[in-house]
């Protein structure tokens, strides 16, 4: 834009000199403002010319590695999208996927709630009009190390992975990321995730909550609450709910249901051999359909199945991935293994062989992860008393972490009822049900499976809008 005009015949005059001075001053201030908003430390992470990205709308995004442990050479990979509008005023939302071992880039960002979704042929991207960065500045991180592009230079780290290890690394990631992006330090901060992130999210929230009390030692993070979808929460209630859902939705026979009920004591940390055998039969019945969305067509493309069972009685029982693997993982893997994509995302797999293939889910982490936490419910009780905003949502066609188990978990907290069970509406149709307790809100999403933002993107956007804004979900058509 032209600010000053030259004098007649190009000759300078006092007015034009004064105008030039103010123009240079304005330019200086503009540059200072730009540097303040985007310091060099984050500009180097800006994503430019991402292959296959649609030319419009304009999307401001950044990605790269953040160190979480200098001694062992551990770094987590992130992908961050600024809010589509008013980013300086909107909250910061961190999204985590579960597994353990599944990528928030491959699922959350590229398949579910990010603004750029991978095309079905894996050849490019398309804009997601239901992206959650309409409501918040959206941060995805691949956690723990060994997932996706996140790495460690100390191989023994991969044998030590458990919930406490993951929470500590995630906390260090968050602190160091906010150092790189200081303009978001004062924003309201929320954590979200699904499946085994039903452990990760509350545990990280608790760590932030506790360390916020020691301001002399730790930086303050403006944590306001968390929301989890189809979350693994308590082994007893989740397992009980899984079995009852399979029977009540005609997946298993009366005989198998009765047998499993008889031989399984889900309150035990380690299942008996008889219980493992019975539950193996339950999962065998799911092989013919999609356990993560029991009414959806099963993918017929050859994929690496996330239904890998671990028949190891050293574990507390059968473990299947808390991710989702119809055909979408194939498309994501095709895209993120492209060298030009990795270069644009600053995602070189450092600290490991450069020929390592990027996977949506790392099976080895599932097999070696140290499951040490039976229930997250005590954290809920603690953080409810701490005043955090807590929501749980559940797609009601998920057989892996079904709504029955989530209802048992919430009821076990013994909270006073605030608003009774009722329908909520979306586009004049029932979107699901909602019940509010003093401290926790439970929302179901009708017809959604394990990945609610994938199966019901419009409803999911309405849900996160309500959670973040405080505006109630419509209860009338």
Residue for token digits 């540097």? 35
- 3-state class (DSSP) for residue 171: helix
Catalytic residue among 87, 143, 195, 394: 195
Query: DSSP secondary structure string, 111-140?
Result: IISSSEEEPTTSS-EEE-TT-GGGTSEEEE
Is residue 426 part of the annotated active site? The answer reads no
Is residue 462 part of the annotated active site? The answer reads no
Backbone angles phi, psi at 392, to 5 degrees: -125, 130
Residues 115, 210 contacting (CB under 8 angstroms): no
Distances in Å between the Cα of 456 and the Cα atoms of 56, 94, 365, 370 are 24, 20, 29, 33
Strands (E), 306-460: 389-395, 417-426, 429-437, 441-445
Q: CB within 8 A of 329, min separation 6: which ones?
A: 106, 303, 304, 306, 323, 360, 361
Catalytic residue among 61, 187, 426, 450: 450
What are the start-end ranges of the H helices in 143-272?
A: 163-180, 197-211, 235-248, 254-263
The β-bridge relationship of strands 61-69 and 74-81 is: antiparallel
Is residue 169 part of the annotated active site? The answer reads no
Catalytic residue among 398, 406, 426, 466: 398
Separation CA 262–CA 48 (nearest Å) = 58
Sign of CA dihedral 271, 275, 279, 281: positive
Separation CA 324–CA 327 (nearest Å) = 9
Report which secondary-structure segment, H or E, holds 411: helix 403-412
Helix axis angle for 197-211 and 163-180, nearest 10°, is 60
Catalytic residues, which ones?
195, 398, 450
């Amino acid at each position: 834009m032209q600010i000053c005009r030259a004098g007649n015949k190009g000759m300078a005059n006092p007015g034009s000199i004064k105008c030039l001075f103010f123009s240079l001053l304005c330019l200086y201030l503009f540059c200072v403002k730009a540097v303040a908003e985007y310091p060099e430390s984050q500009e180097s992470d800006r994503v430019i010319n991402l292959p296959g990205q649609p030319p419009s709308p304009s999307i401001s995004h950044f990605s790269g590695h953040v160190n979480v442990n200098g001694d062992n050479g551990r770094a987590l990979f992130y992908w961050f999208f600024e809010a589509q509008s008013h980013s300086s005023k909107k909250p910061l939302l961190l999204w985590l996927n579960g597994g353990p071992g599944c990528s928030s880039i491959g699922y959350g960002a590229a398949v579910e709630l990010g603004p750029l979704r991978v095309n079905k042929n894996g050849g490019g991207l398309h804009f997601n009009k239901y992206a959650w960065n309409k409501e918040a500045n959206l941060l995805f991180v691949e956690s723990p190390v060994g997932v996706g592009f996140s790495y460690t230079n100390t191989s023994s780290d991969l044998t030590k992975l458990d919930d406490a290890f993951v929470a500590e690394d995630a906390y260090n990631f968050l602190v160091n990321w906010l150092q790189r992006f200081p303009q978001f330090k004062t924003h309201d901060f929320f954590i979200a995730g699904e499946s085994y992130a039903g452990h990760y999210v509350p545990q990280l929230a608790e760590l932030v909550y506790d360390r916020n009390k020691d301001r002399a030692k730790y930086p303050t993070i403006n944590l306001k609450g968390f929301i989890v979808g189809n979350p693994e929460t308590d082994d007893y209630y989740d397992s009980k709910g899984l079995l009852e859902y399979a029977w009540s939705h005609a997946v298993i026979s009366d005989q198998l249901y009765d047998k499993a009920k008889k031989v399984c004591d889900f309150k035990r940390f380690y299942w008996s051999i008889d219980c493992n055998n019975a539950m193996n039969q339950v999962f065998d019945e799911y092989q013919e359909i999609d356990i993560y969305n029991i009414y959806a067509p099963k993918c017929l493309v050859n994929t690496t199945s996330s239904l890998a069972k671990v028949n190891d009685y050293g574990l507390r029982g059968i473990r299947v991935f808390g991710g989702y693997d119809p055909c979408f993982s194939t498309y994501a893997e095709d895209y993120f293994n492209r060298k030009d994509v990795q270069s644009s995302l600053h995602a070189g797999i450092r600290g490991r062989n450069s020929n390592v293939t990027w996977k949506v889910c790392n099976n080895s982490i599932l097999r070696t992860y140290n499951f040490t936490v039976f229930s997250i419910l005590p954290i809920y009780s603690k953080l409810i008393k701490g005043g955090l905003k807590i929501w749980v949502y559940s797609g009601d066609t998920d057989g892996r972490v079904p709504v029955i188990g989530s209802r048992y978990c919430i009821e076990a907290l013994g909270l006073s009822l605030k608003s009774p069970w009722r329908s909520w509406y979306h586009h004049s149709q029932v979107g699901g049900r909602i019940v509010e307790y003093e401290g926790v809100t439970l929302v179901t999403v009708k017809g959604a499976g394990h990945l609610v933002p994938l199966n019901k993107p419009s409803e999911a956007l309405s849900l996160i809008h309500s959670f973040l804004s405080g505006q109630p979900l419509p209860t009338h058509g």
